[in-house]
């Protein structure tokens, strides 16, 4: 949900799913049309920031693979 | 010895039978022929491998007690003794104990486990969890060797590189597999995976047996993280598949089932971007409309009217004040000079006036004199004393002397009669 401005993490620091959920909540609240104009503008700005961060994440995403147990063998032709 | 002595066929077969019946064996083979006619006292079947075959019989009571329903192609494990059937000169294997062997045996065990788990409700769809829409950490429990793990990593990288992949590379075959897989599940859950992919590549039914293990099934059901299974190839089904929250047919399919595609995500973000813009535009337009409605009110479109009346009054007062000061002074001056003139003119009149007034007052005094009235023909009757005015008939008596005064003198009179009334 929408938190107070002060406690909101920056979109860049947020997990993809979290940022996306917040963006969706913002769109829904704006579509509701019940907000004050100032609040609408504030949420719009936040939404744009989230959107930019999400798009950047998608564009720049590099798969990170962490091995918890065992050691990954490089891919070979033979099937297991 | 009488090695040269010939024996009868019967004797020969009896000797063979005695020799064969000393051999007790447990044999595994595939059923290639089977006949079980209701009238027969025994079930007759042939068990074979690639290079040899043997005729078998099992007495009806023992066969029914085994619980196995024989079918061609079935792998069986049987314990019994060879014997010889003299009338046909045939060797046969008399089965005392019969059980499914190998895969057949495994399938039976698996079916048994599945029945038990199902009875407990562990396989019910309504206890299965839905997967997170946007997992941030995807656990993968599988063999660190072979194609499966790379298929998964490649698919995740292509579809959803946003997530981190946590790999627990564990043994997935043999007796160590189940504890290793359980350890792997625990490790990814502790690493706070949002979803776990439990996968392995294709293999024989026996190879997949760890995924039919009851302990593993219970661990999956109790897992704090939703589990997606992807075991073997398309037709392979294990208990893991039944108990997993989502069943995928292969490791690649499991990776796909657990992630949104980046292309879909990009489309979704684009849509959200449009909705965001449109929602704000709508909100602003709404505000604009309300402002415009208000702005058409006279109050706002002619702001002067708000202060108009008061302003005008102030203006008027200011104007009046501006005029009032000099005009007032002039008026006062004029009045003063007029008064002065009046005063100058009034001076002589003030002196004239008493003489006139006295004359006028004297005239009025004269008019009011009773004597003047007498001049107009009236008379006054006085009593004999000459000073008391007779006003009533009751004041005099007949014969009394009265004095009647007229305009120019007095008359001495005697009252001769008295009449009342006007």
**Strand bridging mode B195-200 / B409-414:** unpaired
pLDDT higher than 50, residue A31: yes
Tokens 């704006």 sit on residue? A30
Residues of chain B in contact with residue A16, where contact means CB-CB under 8 angstroms, are 134, 136, 162-163
The residue in chain A having the minimum alpha-carbon distance to the alpha carbon of residue B279 is A31
Residues of chain A in contact with residue B184, where contact means CB-CB under 8 angstroms, are 68-69
Residue A79 confidence (pLDDT) = 45
Tokens 């005008």 sit on residue? B312
Please indicate whether, in this complex, the C-beta atoms of B201 and A79 are within 8 angstroms of each other.
yes
The beta-carbon neighbor of A24 closest among B153, B187, B272 is: B272
Residue B326 confidence (pLDDT) = 65
Please indicate whether, in this complex, the C-beta atoms of A40 and B283 are within 8 angstroms of each other.
yes
Contacts of B401 by beta carbon, 8 Å cutoff, 6+ apart: B384, B412, B413, B414, B415
How far is it, in rounded angstroms, from Cα A7 to Cα A1?
12
**Could you give the ipTM of this predicted complex?**
0.77
Quick: pLDDT tens for B128-160.
999 998 898 999 999 998 899 999 999 999 888
Q: What string of H, E and C letters represents the secondary structure of B238-280?
A: CHHHHHCCEEECCHHHHHHHCCCCHHHHHHHHHHHHHHHHHHH
The beta-carbon neighbor of A72 closest among B167, B187, B273 is: B167
How far is it, in rounded angstroms, from Cα B15 to Cα B25?
20
Please indicate whether, in this complex, the C-beta atoms of A70 and B287 are within 8 angstroms of each other.
no
Residue A1 confidence (pLDDT) = 47
Quick: pLDDT tens for B245-298.
999 999 999 999 999 888 888 888 888 888 888 888 887 788 778 877 877 776
The residue among B81, B93, B97, B85 whose CA lies nearest residue B22 is: B81
Quick: pLDDT tens for B399-412.
888 988 887 888 88
Please indicate whether, in this complex, the C-beta atoms of A72 and B169 are within 8 angstroms of each other.
yes
Residues of chain B in contact with residue A66, where contact means CB-CB under 8 angstroms, are 164-167, 191
What is the mean pLDDT of the segment spanning B186-204? 93
Quick: pLDDT tens for B23-35.
899 999 999 999 8
The residues pairing with A69 across neighbouring beta strands, listed in sequence order, are B168
Residue B40 confidence (pLDDT) = 86
Contacts of B95 by beta carbon, 8 Å cutoff, 6+ apart: B56, B57, B58, B62, B63, B78, B79, B80
Contacts of A53 by beta carbon, 8 Å cutoff, 6+ apart: A10, A11, A12, A14, A19
The residue in chain A having the minimum alpha-carbon distance to the alpha carbon of residue B190 is A68
Quick: pLDDT tens for B317-340.
777 766 666 666 666 666 666 666
The residues pairing with B47 across neighbouring beta strands, listed in sequence order, are B31, B54
Question: Chain A closest CA to B76's CA: distance in Å?
Answer: 28
Q: Which of B272, B278, B282 to mutate to test the interface with A (most CBs of A within 10 A)?
A: B272
Say how many C-beta atoms besides its own lie within 10 A of residue B235's C-beta: 7
CATH architecture of B9-100: Beta Barrel (2.40)
Question: Chain A closest CA to B18's CA: distance in Å?
Answer: 51
How far is it, in rounded angstroms, from Cα A8 to Cα A56?
19
Residues of A with CB under 8 A from a CB of B: 15-17, 20-21, 23-24, 26-27, 30-31, 33, 35, 37, 40-41, 44, 47-48, 51, 54-55, 57-58, 61-73, 75, 78-80
Q: Which of A31, A70, A72, A73 to mutate to test the interface with B (most CBs of B within 10 A)?
A: A70
The beta-carbon neighbor of A16 closest among B136, B275, B284 is: B136
**Per-chain mean pLDDT for chain B:** 84
Please indicate whether, in this complex, the C-beta atoms of A44 and B276 are within 8 angstroms of each other.
yes
Quick: pLDDT tens for A32-78.
877 887 888 888 888 888 888 888 888 887 888 888 888 887 765 44
Superfamily (CATH H level) for B131-260: Cobalamin-binding domain (3.40.50.280)
| Confidence category of residue B92, pLDDT binned at 50, 70, 90 | very high
More confident site: B370 or B4: B4
């Amino acid at each position: 949900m929408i938190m107070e401005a002060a406690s909101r993490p920056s979109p860049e620091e947020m997990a993809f799913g979290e940022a996306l959920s917040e963006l969706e909540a913002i769109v829904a609240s704006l579509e509701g049309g019940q907000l004050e104009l100032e609040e609408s503008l504030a949420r719009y700005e936040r939404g744009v920031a989230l959107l930019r961060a999400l798009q950047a994440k998608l564009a720049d995403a590099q798969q990170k693979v962490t091995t918890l147990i065992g050691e990954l063998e490089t891919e070979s032709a033979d099937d297991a | 010895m009488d090695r040269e002595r010939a024996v009868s066929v019967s004797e020969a077969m009896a000797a063979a039978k005695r020799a064969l019946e000393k051999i007790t064996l447990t044999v595994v083979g595939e059923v290639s022929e089977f006949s079980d006619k209701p009238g027969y006292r025994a079930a007759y079947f042939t068990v074979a491998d690639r290079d040899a075959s043997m005729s078998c019989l099992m007495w009806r009571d023992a066969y029914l007690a085994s619980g196995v329903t024989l079918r061609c192609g079935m792998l069986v494990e049987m314990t019994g003794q060879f014997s010889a059937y003299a009338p046909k000169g045939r060797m046969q294997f008399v089965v005392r104990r019969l059980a499914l062997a190998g895969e057949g045996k495994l399938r039976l065990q698996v079916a048994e486990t599945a029945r038990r788990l199902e009875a407990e409700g562990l396989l019910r769809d309504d206890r299965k969890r839905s997967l997170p829409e946007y997992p941030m950490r995807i656990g993968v429990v599988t063999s660190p060797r072979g194609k499966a793990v790379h298929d998964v990593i490649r698919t995740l990288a292509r579809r959803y590189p946003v997530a981190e992949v946590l790999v627990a590379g564990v043994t997935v075959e043999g007796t160590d597999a189940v504890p290793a897989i359980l350890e792997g599940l625990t490790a990814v859950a502790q690493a706070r995976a949002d979803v776990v992919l439990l996968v392995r590549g294709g293999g024989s039914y026996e190879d997949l047996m760890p995924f039919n293990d009851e302990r593993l099934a219970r661990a999956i059901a109790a897992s704090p993280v939703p589990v997606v299974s992807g075991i073997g190839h398309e037709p392979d089904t294990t208990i893991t598949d039944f108990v997993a929250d989502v069943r995928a047919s292969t490791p690649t399919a499991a990776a796909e089932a657990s992630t949104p595609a980046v292309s879909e995500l990009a489309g979704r973000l684009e849509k959200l971007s449009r909705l965001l813009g449109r929602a704000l535009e709508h909100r602003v337009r709404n505000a604009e409309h309300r402002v415009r409605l208000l702005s058409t009110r006279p109050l706002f479109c002619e702001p002067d009217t708000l202060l108009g009346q008061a302003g005008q009054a102030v203006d008027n007062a200011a104007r009046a004040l501006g005029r009032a000061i000099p005009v007032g002074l002039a008026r006062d001056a004029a009045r003063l000079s007029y008064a002065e003139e009046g005063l100058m003119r009034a001076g002589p009149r003030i002196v004239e006036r008493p003489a006139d007034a006295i004359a006028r007052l004297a005239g009025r005094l004269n008019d009011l004199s009773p004597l003047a009235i007498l001049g107009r023909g009236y008379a006054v009757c006085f009593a004999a004393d000459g000073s008391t005015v007779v006003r009533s008939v009751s004041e005099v008596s007949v014969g009394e002397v009265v004095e009647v005064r007229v305009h120019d003198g007095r008359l001495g009179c005697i009252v001769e009669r008295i009449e009342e009334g006007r």
